[in-house]
Every structure is written in C-alpha cells, then in structure tokens.
Amino acid sequence: MTQQTDGRPQMTATVVLYSHDSVGLGHARRNRALAHALAEHLPGLLGEEVSGLLIAGHPDAPADSLPDGWDWLVLPGFDRTDDGYAARRLRLTVERLAAVRGATMAGVMDSLSPDLFIADRHPLGVDGELRPVLSLLRERHRCATVLGLRDVLDSPRAVQAEWAAAGGAEAVADAYDAVWIYGDRRVYCPVSTGEVPAGLASRSLSTGYLAQGRPEDAGAAVEGSYVLTVVGGGSDGAPVARAAAAAPPPRGHRHLVVTGPQMPEEQVRAIRLLARPETTVLRSVPHVPALLRDAAAAVTMGGYNTLAEVMATTTPALVVPRRSRRAEQPRRAAALAAAGAVEVLPAEACEPQALSAWFAKAVGTAVDRSAIDLGGLSRAAELAAQLIRARRAAPMHSPHPTGVPRARAASRPARVPTPLEALAHAH
C-alpha cells in the first residue's frame, strides 16, 4: 500500500492476521505474538513501514496490547457447543453469522489491500466464512496467503475429517501460498502423523516454536520466591486450579494461581475459598511470560501458547493436559516430555498432594530447552518478507507466483519413531 507523507509517496506493508476464536484466546494470542515479531523485524527486512490488523472473534482479545500502527477487528462471535458452532450472542444461524463475518472481512480486505494474510488453524474459517476473503485476495490484490498451524492439531482421524470438510488438501493448496507449522519437527511432526495431509506437504515447513521474543506487557514485579499455576483462558481449567489452590507450596515460597479471564466467576470464588494463606488467586495478569520466567516452578495445562512461553525459560514445568474436546494437549505434552522439556501429570492424578510434592522437588532446579528450535517468531518475519516480495513481483491472478519460496516439506525426521508417532500411525 502506498501512503502520502509530506507530499511524498511512501510504501507501507500491510499484514492481516485472522483467528476464529470460538473457545479460549489461544488463536488470537498466537497471532498477537506474530504481530509483535512482524512489527519488529519486517521494516528492516522490507525497507518500509509495516502496519497491520488482527481479526478476532472474542471480545476479550483486544485486552492485549498491539504494536504501534496495528489494531483489532473483533467480529460477532461463535461459541462451541456439544452440537458444533452456534452464535455467541446474535440470534442468527451459524450460516447467517458466517455470511455476516465473511462479508465484513471481505469489505475490510478490499479497502486495506493487504500484502500478507495469515489465517490461524482454520483454512476456511467457520462454515467457510473465509472463502470470499481468499477469493478476493487472489483475484483483486497482490496478497501472499499463509495458513498457520500449531505443532499438534488433533488425532489424525479427527483432523482428516476436518480437512475433508474444508474441501480437501487441494482446495486449501489453491488458497494458500505456504503452510507454516509453529513447532520443531524433531519434537513432533504433524506431516508424519498424518495431521497435515500429503497434498500440503510440499508447501509446509516447521518454523520453530513461537517462543523466543514473545511480547511482555508491563506488570508489577513479584517480590520474593514463588511458584506459579496458570490454566490458560480458564474456561476448562477449574480442576487444575482447585488442586493448585489447596496444595501447600514449598517452604519459603508463595504460590500464585492465575485462573484466566474466561473461568466462570462462581468457580473463581470457590477456588479462592480453597486457597491456603500462602496462595494468591488472580483472575488474570498482563505479564504471564515474565511470571513464568521468574517462577521457581510452574504447573500449567497443555495449550500451545502457555507451553511456548514456558519453552522460552529454564523454569521447571509440570503439564496437566486437558483431555476433553481434542487430543491435542496430551499429544503435545507427551512429545515435549519425550524431548526432556517438561514433566506430565495425568488429569485424573491432579490432586493437591501430588502438586505439592512436585513443587517441592522442582524448586531450585532448571531445565535446559536450548536443543529445541524456539526461534519461530523471527523466522516467520523472514519468511513473510520473502512471500511479500514474491507476490508483489508476480503477475496478477497468479495462484502461486514464481519466486514464492516453496517451503521445504516437513517430512518424517530421520530417526526412530517415538511411541507417540507410532500411536498416531496406528490410528
């Protein structure tokens, strides 16, 4: 996009990041980390200013700050129910709400004419809401398109059904120039497990975990030694938070329990009643990465963003993965435990005594995670610059312009499959 500054034309690269955000804030938080990295690195790589827009579907998303020149677009939201998606507040069918969201995004895209569009996890959005957006970007704008995937999606069987519902790998390949997998394929390779279909392997690459360089919002420093429990957004974290609040912390340590902003208020009240004198229960904090870095030990659930923040530290971590909805968290926790990055406690064993014993053992130790690729944020900026240059140089209407870097396939690592990979292939 060309803007006028003091009467002179000036190029500004525009980036749009999409997340559907039906449950939790993981998708929006991942995109926010990317926004900060792109704002930091892209101007130097492209030699021009960079501006951006984050599209989200949850009203809590804008509570997180963005770089200068970036803003939020919050769409009317979806909720996830036992029967699938439903409108969060509007009295609309899923189909009508998806149409409203799709038309809104298409109008914004046509006005912004972005250089780069990154969709998190869902290639066509909810009920195909991204179809008009992707068609418009291909037909009328020189915009590079990226599908961003977390390291673990779900069980291969469940994910294959989702790809089929999106029209198959071919339909996704037609819409996206590249697929970025936000992980280290030596730890977990979703192409090898079948979570990413073979038809997308040729344009898929592992960026490394989005760990190092995550934004840290300012917050009051915690004085003294403490242990920490965090449960992500908190919508399903009450069992872990209850056990943590009742767990005696190690001698000489306070215990901070962060319930997350999406935990129901009655559950937060119950957890506060269980809390020991040395334990403080907080609903939310703006500086979780710093709290994790400075904690003597941490208990977490197995969501991508929390574990990416853990991986950027040497803090010992015990992961209690969620087992409802998806197989994602147990698979991620098992893979990272096999790599020596975390320890795992099954949800059914998450009791106050077990957490107290683990805290007592973990304080005073440190975990070296430097063997894992944690540089996904800076690498994403380099890849983004390559894609933007190639798309600008390509003819209009080119599905995949010559010069757009073909991402190396995230092929099977040259090693003996782990038990987790063997389990994936068995399914």
Q: Note the pLDDT tens digit of each residue in 120-161.
A: 999 999 999 999 999 999 999 999 999 999 999 999 999 999
Looking only at the bridges linking them, the beta strands covering 8-18 and 2-5 are: antiparallel
pTM of structure: 0.91
Q: Work out the percent of the chain whose per-residue pLDDT is above 90.
A: 79
Query: Comparing 34-38, 72-76, 355-359, 393-397, which segment has the lowest mean pLDDT?
Result: 393-397
Going by pLDDT thresholds of 50, 70 and 90, the confidence category of residue 88 is very high
Residue 152 and residue 160: Cα distance in Å, rounded? 13
Going by pLDDT thresholds of 50, 70 and 90, the confidence category of residue 323 is confident
- Which pLDDT belongs to residue 6? 52
Q: The tokens of 360 are what? A: 């007592």
Residue 268 and residue 274: Cα distance in Å, rounded? 10
Residue 40 and residue 212: Cα distance in Å, rounded? 13
For all residues of the chain together, what is the average pLDDT? Answer: 90
3-state SS, the chain, equals CEEEECCEEEEEEEEEEECCCCCCCHHHHHHHHHHHHHHHHHHHHHCCEEEEEEEECCCCHHHCCCCCCEEEEECCCEEEECCEEEECCCCCCHHHHHHHHHHHHHHHHHHHCCCEEEEECCCCCHHHCCHHHHHHHHHHCCCEEEEEEECCCCCHHHHHHHHHHCCHHHHHHHHCCEEEEECCCCCCCHHHHCCCCHHHHHHEEECCCECCCCCCCCCCCCCCCEEEEECCCCCCCHHHHHHHHHCCCCCCCEEEEECCCCCCHHHHHHHHHHCCCCEEEECCCCCHHHHHHHCCCEEECCCHHHHHHHHCCCCCEEECCCCCCCCHHHHHHHHHHHCCCCEECCHHHCCHHHHHHHHHHHCCCCCCCCCCCCEHHHHHHHHHHHHHHHHHHCCCCCCCCCCCCCCCCCCCCCCCCCHHHHHHHHC
Domains of the chain as residue ranges with CATH: 2-210+375-393 (3.40.50.2000), 226-362 (3.40.50.2000)
Residue 173 and residue 345: Cα distance in Å, rounded? 38
Residue 134 and residue 230: Cα distance in Å, rounded? 36
- Which pLDDT belongs to residue 24? 74
CA 76 vs. chain centroid, Å, equals 20
The mean pLDDT value for 318-329 works out to 91
Residue 83 and residue 332: Cα distance in Å, rounded? 26
- Contact predicate 385/405, CB 8 Å: no
Q: Which residue has the tokens 């609309």?
A: 92
Q: Work out the percent of the chain whose per-residue pLDDT is above 70.
A: 91
Going by pLDDT thresholds of 50, 70 and 90, the confidence category of residue 416 is very low
- Which pLDDT belongs to residue 130? 97
Q: The tokens of 160 are what? A: 């294959």
- Which pLDDT belongs to residue 395? 84
Asked if residue 337 has pLDDT above 80, the reply is yes
